[in-house]
C-alpha cells in the first residue's frame, strides 16, 4: 500500500474516508446521524474498534469509518495507534475500495504518532495471494492507497525512512510464507540477490564444498539427508565509520524441517516451512537497514539447510566435528538448528570479528510452552545487551523475555563420548539449547540468542499481521541498531 500526503481533502475525494478517534472523543463537525449511529453501535473509540456508516456530503455518498485509538493517556499510545491503522486495513483490504482518505487531524499530534497509524495500516494490509487462483471477487484484495490528510509537519519525510522498515518486514513475511518447494537454500539466496541488487549491500555466499573445506561438520551433518545443497549467506552493510567492528545478526535458516531420522509427527509438519524464520528475519532486517541507509556497520548471516530423512541422513548417536573443532554427539536429529547455528556463528566471528552477536532461531518448542506466542525468549551473556534488547522490544512491539544461563544447565548437555550432546533432558529445553550455542561464542563477545519459535508464525491475526507470518524480529533489530549502534 502506498501513501499520498495532502494538506487538505482532495477535491475529488475517494468514497471511503476514515478518521482516527480517541476513546470518548468523537471529532467535532461530525454529522448528527453519525454521532447517533456511533452511539447506537456502542462505538466508544476503544483500541482497534471500527464503526462504519454512510453519509451524504454534497452530491456524494461517503463511506465513513471511525477507528478507535483508545485513551490517549494510557501507556502504549503508539501501539494503540498502530492497532487503529491495522483495524482499518483488516476491514477494508477486500472492501472493493481502491483508495481511502485517512484523516489524522484531532487524535494524532506528533510525527511519531502519525507514523504508528501508517505502519499499522501498511503492515496489516499485507497479503500473499500468489497461489490463490479461485478467489471470489469479494475475497480479492483491492485497497491500494491512502490519501493522508491532517498529518503533522514532517510526517511525509519521516515515512520515507519508516517505509523501509515496512519493506523489510514484508520481505521477511514473504520468505517465511513461501512453501519449501519455492524457498530452499539456493532459492533463498537467489531471492536475496534479486532484492538487494543495486542497494550497496555486499553479499557473500558459501557453497557446500567451501563449507566442507572450512570443517563445518555440524551444519553439513544436518544437510546431508537432503537433495537440496546447503548455503551460507552473508549480507554486509558498511554504513558506519570505516574500520569499526560490525554488529552481527545470525539466523537459523532450516527451510524445511522434517526432524530427520528423528522424524516429527505428520500432523502439522507442513508448518515447518517457517523453520527458517530466523534467517528470514535477518534478511528482512538487513533490507530495512540498507534501504534506510543506516549509519552503522552491520552484517547479517544466514545458515541455510533442509533437514530430511534420506538414507544418507545423519543418525541419532552420530558424532560430528564443528568448525570450531568441538565434537557433538547427535542424540536427536530434530535438534538440528543448534548444529546449523554453531558453525554459522563460528564462521561469522572468524570472518567479520563483530563487536556484538545476536542470533535468531525458531529453536525449540519448549519456548512456546514457556511464553506462548507473546514474547520471544532471550538468552545472553551480557547484561547491557539484555537491557538494549529489552528496550528495543518494548519500543518496537517485538517483545522479548530474558531466561537464565548457568553452569548447572551446561552440565545437562555433557556427553560421555564427545565434547557435548546436541540435546539435554526433557526439562529446560530452551535453556540447554542456548547453553549449547554459548559454547561457540568467543570469550568476551557480547552475545544474545533469541528463540523466536512462538512469534514468527501465528494461527490467528495479531496487532499488525494476519494469520501466518508475523515478520517478527525486523522491527526489534532495526530499533536495536538505531538506538545503540548508529553514529
* Strand partners for 303: 232, 252
Catalytic residue among 91, 245, 264, 399: 264
Classify each residue of 109-127 as buried b or exposed e, where b means 16 or more C-beta atoms within 10 Å of its C-beta: eebbbbbbbbbbbbbbbbb
Q: DSSP readout, 349-363?
A: HHHH--SEEEEEE--
Residue 422: count other Cβ atoms within 10 Å of its Cβ. 28
- Residue 406 buriedness (CB in 10 A; 0-12 / 13-18 / 19+): exposed
Q: Is 338 a catalytic residue?
A: yes
**Which grid cell is 449?**
540468542
Q: How far is CA 128 from the centre of its chain?
A: 16
> Under a CB-based contact definition with an 8 Å cutoff, are residues 247 and 131 in contact?
no
**Which is the catalytic residue, given 338, 475, 479, 482?**
338
The answer to whether the CB of 205 falls within 8 A of the CB of 189 is yes
| 245 annotated active-site | no
Per-residue burial over 50-80, b if 16 or more Cβ lie within 10 Å, else e, is bbbbeeeeeeeebbbbbbbbbbbeeeebbbb
Residues involved in catalysis: 264, 338
Amino acid at each position: 500500500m502506498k501513501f499520498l500526503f495532502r494538506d487538505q481533502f482532495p477535491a475529488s475525494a475517494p468514497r471511503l474516508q476514515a478518521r482516527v478517534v480517541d476513546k470518548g472523543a468523537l471529532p467535532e463537525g461530525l454529522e448528527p446521524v453519525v454521532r447517533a449511529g456511533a452511539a447506537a453501535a456502542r462505538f466508544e473509540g476503544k483500541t482497534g474498534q471500527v464503526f462504519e456508516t454512510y453519509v451524504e456530503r454534497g452530491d456524494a455518498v461517503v463511506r465513513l469509518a471511525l477507528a478507535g485509538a483508545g485513551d490517549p493517556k494510557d501507556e502504549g499510545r503508539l501501539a494503540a495507534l498502530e492497532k487503529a491503522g491495522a483495524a482499518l486495513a483488516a476491514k477494508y483490504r477486500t472492501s472493493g475500495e481502491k483508495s481511502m482518505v485517512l484523516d489524522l487531524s484531532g487524535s494524532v499530534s506528533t510525527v511519531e504518532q502519525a507514523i504508528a497509524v501508517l505502519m499499522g495500516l501498511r503492515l496489516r494490509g499485507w497479503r500473499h495471494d500468489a497461489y490463490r487462483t479461485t478467489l471470489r471477487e469479494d475475497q480479492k484484495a483491492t485497497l491500494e492507497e491512502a490519501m493522508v490528510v491532517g498529518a503533522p509537519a514532517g510526517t511525509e519525510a519521516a515515512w520515507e525512512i519508516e517505509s523501509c522498515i515496512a519493506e523489510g518486514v514484508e520481505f521477511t513475511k514473504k520468505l517465511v510464507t513461501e512453501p519449501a518447494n519455492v524457498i530452499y537454500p539456493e532459492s533463498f539466496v537467489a531471492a536475496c540477490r534479486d532484492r538487494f541488487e543495486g542497494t550497496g549491500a555486499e553479499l557473500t555466499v558459501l557453497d557446500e564444498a567451501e563449507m566442507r573445506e572450512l570443517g563445518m561438520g555440524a551444519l553439513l551433518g544436518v544437510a546431508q539427508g537432503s537433495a537440496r545443497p546447503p548455503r551460507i549467506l552473508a549480507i554486509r552493510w558498511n554504513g558506519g565509520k570505516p574500520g569499526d567492528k560490525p554488529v552481527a545478526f545470525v539466523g537459523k535458516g532450516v527451510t524445511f524441517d522434517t526432524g530427520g531420522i528423528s522424524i516429527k509427527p505428520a500432523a502439522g509438519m507442513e508448518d515447518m516451512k517457517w523453520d527458517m524464520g530466523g534467517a528470514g528475519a535477518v534478511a528482512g532486517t538487513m533490507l530495512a537497514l540498507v534501504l534506510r541507509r543506516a549509519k552503522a556497520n552491520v552484517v547479517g548471516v544466514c545458515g541455510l539447510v533442509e533437514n530430511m530423512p534420506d538414507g544418507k541422513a545423519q543418525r541419532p548417536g552420530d558424532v560430528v566435528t564443528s568448525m570450531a573443532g568441538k565434537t557433538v554427539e547427535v542424540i536427536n536429529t530434530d535438534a538440528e538448528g543448534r548444529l546449523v547455528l554453531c558453525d554459522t556463528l563460528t564462521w561469522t566471528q572468524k570472518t567479520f570479528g563483530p563487536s556484538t552477536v545476536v542470533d535468531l532461531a525458531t529453536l525449540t518448542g519448549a519456548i512456546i510452552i514457556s511464553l506462548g506466542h507473546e514474547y520471544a525468549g532471550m538468552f545472553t551473556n551480557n547484561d547491557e545487551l539484555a537491557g538494549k534488547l529489552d528496550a528495543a522490544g518494548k519500543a518496537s512491539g517485538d517483545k522479548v523475555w530474558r531466561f537464565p544461563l548457568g553452569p548447572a544447565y551446561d552440565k545437562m548437555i555433557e556427553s560421555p563420548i564427545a565434547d557435548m550432546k546436541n540435546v539435554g533432558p526433557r526439562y529446560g529445553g530452551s535453556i540447554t539449547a542456548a547453553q549449547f550455542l554459548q559454547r561457540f561464542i568467543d570469550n568476551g563477545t557480547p552475545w544474545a540468542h533469541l528463540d523466536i519459535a512462538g512469534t514468527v508464525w501465528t494461527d490467528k491475526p495479531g496487532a499488525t499481521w494476519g494469520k501466518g507470518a508475523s515478520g517478527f524480529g525486523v522491527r526489534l533489530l532495526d530499533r536495536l541498531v538505531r538506538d545503540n549502534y548508529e553514529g
